[in-house]
Structures are given as C-alpha cells and as structure tokens.
Amino acid sequence: MFVCLGMFARSVANEPYPKSPIIERIQLDWKTHRRAAQGSDNFQLTWAQDGHLYGAWGDGGGFGGSNSKGRVGLGVAKIEGPADDYRGTNIWGGVDGQNPAQFDGKSWGMIGVDEQLHMWVVPDRPPGKDYRNHYEFIRLASSRDFGATWNKSGWKFTSFDNLTIPTFLNFGRANWGVPESFGDYVYSYFIRPSDPKIQQQGNDAAGLIVHRPGTIYLARIATDQLQFGPDRDRFEFFAGLSPGDQPKWGSIDEKRPVFRDPNGVGWCMSACHHPGLQRVLICTEHGESKAGLLGVFDAPAPWGPWTTVEYYSPERPFGAKRPGSDWPWKNNVFFIAFPTKWFDGLDFTANFTGAGMGKDNDSFNTVSGRFVLRSRQ
C-alpha cells in the first residue's frame, strides 16, 4: 500500500520555493520498510565503479553491530544487491570489519568517481578539545581501494569560511551520466553555519541544529583535479547568475547562496541527480532538527532554480503514518537520501536515519516509493 505524503506537506505555510512543475508528490510503500545496522546512523550512499553502494555511518558497530558492539565514531560499509534484497558488509571499522578504522569523525557525503571513493569528513573532537564539534572544519578523505584505506587532505575548509557539513551531488555509477551542460565537474553543497564560532558542545553549546539563515553554497571541482589530489584553491564556488541566467564561478570569498530557506536548513543534507527526470534533488531539514521536518527540492541544474517536492510539517512529519511497517518509531528522522543505483524509472528506494540513541531510527532504514508526476494540462 502506498501512502501519499504529498497531501500532508500541502498544508505547510511558507514553503521556500513554489511547487515543482515536474514532481507532484512522493508516494511511499511502508510495507517495504527495512531496518538494519541498529545503533548506526547517517549512511549517505554512493554508487561505485564495482557496482556496489558505499557509505559512511557514525557512532555504532555498523551491520551486525549495535550502539556499543563494534562501535566506531566513523565507519564505512558496502551494500550489495538490489533494493529489495540488499546486504551490508562493514569495510572499514565496525563488527567484523574487513579493515580497522584509521581515524574518527563523521561524514554525510561520499562519491565514487572512476575507481576512487571520496568523502567529506568533519571532526568528532577537534584537536586540543575534549568535546565534540562537527562544525569546526571539513577535510576531504580519498580511497583507491573501495574503502579499505583512506587518506585525508592536509588542507581544510572551516566554519570561519562560513562552510560546514557538506555533501556531494551524486550521479550514476562511478559518477557517470553527468549532463554535458553541467561540465566535467564534481559538485558539493555546503551548509552555512548559523555562526562561524558555533560550538556543538562546550560552554557555548548549540547542539546539532537547523541553521538560520537557511543558506546553502555550491562548489565544484574538475573531475581530474579531484582524482589527482586537489587543494582547496581548486574548488570554484557558485557566485550568482549572469544576466543570461548562466552560473558564475569564483573564489571562496566570492561565493553566493545557491539555496535559501527562511525556516532554516539542517546540519546535514543529501543531493542526487535523477537521470530520467533530469532533475537534481536535495534533501534537508527545516524548523527543528531530529523531528521529521524534511524538505525535498528539485531543480533542472545544480544551481537551480529550485522548486518544492515535499515539505513536511510538525503536524505531519515524515513517517507520521506507516501502514504496513511494524518497526518501532519516533519522529526523530533528520536525514533522507535517494541512492542513484536504486532508481528504476519513477520508482525509487530511499534510505533514512534518525536520532534514536541506539534505538528505532538510529539505524539504516530503507523504504521504496514512487515519484508521481504532475499532470500536464
């Protein structure tokens, strides 16, 4: 049984963008809801050249683990098989991990490009501090052996660049299928922190919050430069549109918002490209974090113009009704993504995660659904 979640979001006032001209709503079939890796969250997945999905989890033992059993701060898993019959393996860290985790941190962005994997990594406890602060800086980690080992960059972006917790824009297998009009680039979205001095914990604790003003920046780097060891100056940032509505690119100091939501954006997000619809999809939070207040937006290009697909409300948060699913539930989901391997025409399987402190949605969750297109008049 499919549940039409679009009807819930329609009652929300002050959506930041008009309705999508292409996608009318999302339908989810909660009978397909699966849960694994209890106690491990995040899992932004990328479709690698070997045909499998890879993604990072946080604070748990990964597949076969728990919130304590096999716990690592940052682990990497491989997910093999189709959406209705997948199996997860711990590649880096976790219970029976094939390789030990080399460093700590968190990641909500991974991408496979040719034979390499890359992930954006933020710290758990920054050097010299005895408390967590995911916001403080961002490093790029790369793997040439499908996640068995990782090397981190010596450079970083910091919260004083007005950048925090990024994600990659994922296309097809090994990042194939990037439209010619987008160029031979790898794209990343960065959330602007509410304050460059923000602290997750400590004396000025903010926690993991929805950031206001709700601003997202877009950066790109040439694919070959990413593959051969980039430095931060190789990244170009979206710097607005020309009079002909073409994107302009500049230095980090010239960056301009590519997306805004007055209700805020979350501390993490996901981004992908649907090859059939030829739409970029981004997902993030608004209003309050860890409360199922997700937004799904689409655009014809990484730089927009954006429209709204779904915008969940406090009255009807994501997963408020789940006919066919008996898994324990609380309204604590903060992250949803659409793995590009699991697109099948208008059908998809999404993965999501929440803040259950080792229970309920603090896990790897999948649910299948369908993009319902807007009827043409």
Give the domain extent around 177: 36-296
How high is the mean pLDDT of the chain? 95
pTM of the model: 0.96
Check: CB of residue 361 under 8 Å from CB of residue 329: yes
> Distance between CA atoms of 287 and 284, rounded to whole angstroms?
11
pLDDT surpassing 60 at residue 6: no
Q: Which two tokens stand for residue 211?
A: 């950031």
Identity of residue 253: D
pLDDT in tens, 199-217: 999 888 999 999 999 999 9
Question: Can you say how many angstroms the Cα of residue 283 is from the centroid of all Cα atoms in its chain?
Answer: 7
Check: CB of residue 210 under 8 Å from CB of residue 216: no
> Tokens 């914990």 — which residue?
201
Helix (H, G, I), strand (E, B) or coil at 193: coil
> Distance between CA atoms of 215 and 69, rounded to whole angstroms?
37
Q: Confidence band (pLDDT; 50, 70, 90) for 230?
A: confident
Q: Which two tokens stand for residue 12?
A: 């929300």
Please report the pLDDT score of residue 2 as a whole number: 45
Q: Which two tokens stand for residue 324?
A: 């066919």
Structural domain contains residue 4: no
Q: Please, what's the b/e burial string for 68-99 (b: 16 or more CB within 10 A of its CB; e: otherwise)?
A: eebbbbbbbbbbeeebeebebbbbbbbbebee
> Distance between CA atoms of 79 and 63, rounded to whole angstroms?
10
Structural domain contains residue 9: no
Please report the pLDDT score of residue 290 as a whole number: 98
pLDDT surpassing 70 at residue 4: no
Helix (H, G, I), strand (E, B) or coil at 368: strand
pLDDT in tens, 114-167: 999 999 999 999 999 999 999 999 999 999 999 999 999 999 999 999 999 999
> Distance between CA atoms of 110 and 118, rounded to whole angstroms?
6
Helix (H, G, I), strand (E, B) or coil at 8: helix
pLDDT surpassing 60 at residue 8: no
Structural domain contains residue 22: no
Residue 246 CB contacts under 8 Å (≥ 6 apart), including other chains = none
Percentage above 70 pLDDT, the chain = 96
Structural domain contains residue 304: no
Check: CB of residue 333 under 8 Å from CB of residue 319: yes
Structural domain contains residue 282: yes
Mean pLDDT of the region 280-291: 98
Please report the pLDDT score of residue 329 as a whole number: 97
Q: Confidence band (pLDDT; 50, 70, 90) for 295?
A: very high
Helix (H, G, I), strand (E, B) or coil at 317: coil
Structural domain contains residue 375: no
Q: Is the dihedral of CA 190, 143, 46, 176 positive or negative?
A: positive
Q: Residue 5 — φ and ψ, nearest 5°? A: -85, -15
pLDDT surpassing 50 at residue 89: yes
Structural domain contains residue 44: yes
> Distance between CA atoms of 82 and 130, rounded to whole angstroms?
42
Q: Confidence band (pLDDT; 50, 70, 90) for 376?
A: confident
| Residue 38 Cα distances to 32, 330, 348, angstroms | 17, 14, 23
pLDDT in tens, 353-366: 999 999 999 999 99
SS3 sequence of 232-266: HHHCEEEEEECCCCCEEEECHHHCCCCEEECCCEC
Q: How many domains does the chain have?
A: 1
Helix (H, G, I), strand (E, B) or coil at 77: strand
Length in residues, the chain = 377
Please report the pLDDT score of residue 9 as a whole number: 36
Structural domain contains residue 356: no
pLDDT surpassing 90 at residue 13: no
